[in-house]
């Protein structure tokens, strides 16, 4: 006995298919690019606000603010502490250092903050002056897309965090080269040169092995 529904579904498919108007793969690319830009902007604003808060806190409490370059050289004390964002580090991270004094002295009582230690996102950003994109790795890999015209480029990647950060540089979906940064709490940066054969998209594909690392990018036309 033939299935009487099959012709109805075949008819539905046959008539509906011509009416579908795909927005197109370029629209998908624009959407992904726009979202990446928004994410980068939000993150940059958060990092800036956190850093501004940190500076203001230091100044109002009479602490010493060291320049970012000094901070990236790495803290000598309390290296067993997990580096984190300023708002995460807070009192709990400081409590091991100055127990019982937090309420009175606040964050400046902590040698972490007193030494001007930055969080990993700031360390990564400090390693890439003029970075146009910063983010932090989560449990999955991340792609960052950068538009580029034809020509020779240098991609500077800086990172800070607990794990090595492997990544691949792709030019218009074609693999150009692989890289890996050791990161560490003090951070590490590297330069990677490549030639764009034509105007297109440079995609930096970060592998999930670098989970919890913070990274910063800057693409420079040479």
Partner 1 sequence: MPADEPPADFDTVYAAQYADLTVQLYAYFGDRQEAQDVVQEAFCRALRRWSKVARYDDPVAWVRRVAWNLAVSRWRRSRTALSFLRRQPPREPHVEGPTTERIELVEALATLPPVQRRAVVLHYLGDMSVAEIAEREQVAVGTVKSWLHRGRAGLAVQLHQPEHPEVRRA
Minimum CB separation of residue 128 from partner 1 in Å reads 22
- In the block, residue with structure tokens 């790795």: 137
* Residue 76 within binding range of partner 1, rule CB under 8 A: no
Minimum CB separation of residue 24 from partner 1 in Å reads 8
Residues 26-55 that bind partner 1 (CB under 8 A): 27-29, 31-32, 35
Q: What residues contact 40, with CB distance under 8 A and at least 6 apart? A: 132, 133, 134, 135
The pair of three-digit structure tokens given for residue 7, joined into one six-digit string:
């012709």
Secondary structure (3-state) at 28: helix
Nearest to partner 1 of 70, 168 (CB atom): 168
Per-residue DSSP letter, 207: -
Which of 45, 81, 140, 219 binds partner 1 (CB under 8 A)? It is: 140
* Residue 9 within binding range of partner 1, rule CB under 8 A: yes
* Residue 139 within binding range of partner 1, rule CB under 8 A: no
Stretch that binds partner 1, among 22-30, 97-105, 157-165, 189-197 (CB under 8 A): 22-30
Minimum CB separation of residue 208 from partner 1 in Å reads 9
* Residue 157 within binding range of partner 1, rule CB under 8 A: no
DSSP assignments along 121-182, one per residue: HHHHHHHSTT-SEEEE--SS-EEEEEEE-SEEEEEEEEEEESS-EEEEEEETTEEEEEEEE-
The contact pattern for partner 1, residues 174-203, with x = CB under 8 A and - = no contact, is -----------------------------x
What is the end-to-end Cα distance of the chain in Å, rounded? 71
* Residue 1 within binding range of partner 1, rule CB under 8 A: yes
Contact 74, 186 (CB under 8 A): yes
Whose CA is closest to 145, among 137, 155, 136?
155
Binding positions for partner 1, rule: CB under 8 A: 1-6, 8-9, 11-13, 15-25, 27-29, 31-32, 35, 140-141, 143, 168, 170, 173, 203, 205
């Amino acid at each position: 006995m033939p299935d009487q529904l099959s012709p109805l579904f075949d008819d539905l498919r046959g008539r509906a298919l011509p009416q579908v108007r795909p927005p197109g793969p370029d629209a998908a690319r624009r959407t992904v690019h726009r979202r990446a830009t928004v994410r980068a902007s939000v993150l940059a604003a958060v990092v800036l606000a956190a850093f501004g808060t940190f500076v203001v806190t230091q100044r109002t409490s009479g602490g010493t603010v060291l320049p970012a370059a000094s901070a990236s050289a790495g803290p000598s004390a309390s290296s067993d502490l997990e580096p984190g964002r300023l708002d995460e580090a807070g009192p709990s991270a400081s409590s091991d250092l100055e127990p019982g004094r937090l309420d009175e002295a606040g964050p400046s009582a902590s040698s972490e903050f007193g030494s001007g230690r930055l969080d990993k996102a700031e360390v990564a950003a400090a390693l890439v002056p003029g970075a146009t994109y910063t983010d932090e790795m989560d449990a999955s890999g991340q792609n960052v897309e950068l538009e580029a015209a034809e020509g020779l480029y240098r991609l500077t990647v800086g990172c800070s965090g607990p794990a090595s950060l492997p990544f691949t540089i792709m030019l218009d979906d074609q693999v150009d080269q692989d890289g890996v940064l050791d990161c560490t709490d003090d951070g590490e940066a590297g330069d990677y040169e490549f030639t764009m054969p034509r105007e297109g998209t440079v995609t930096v594909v970060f592998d999930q092995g670098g989970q919890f690392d913070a990274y910063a990018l800057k693409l420079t036309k040479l």
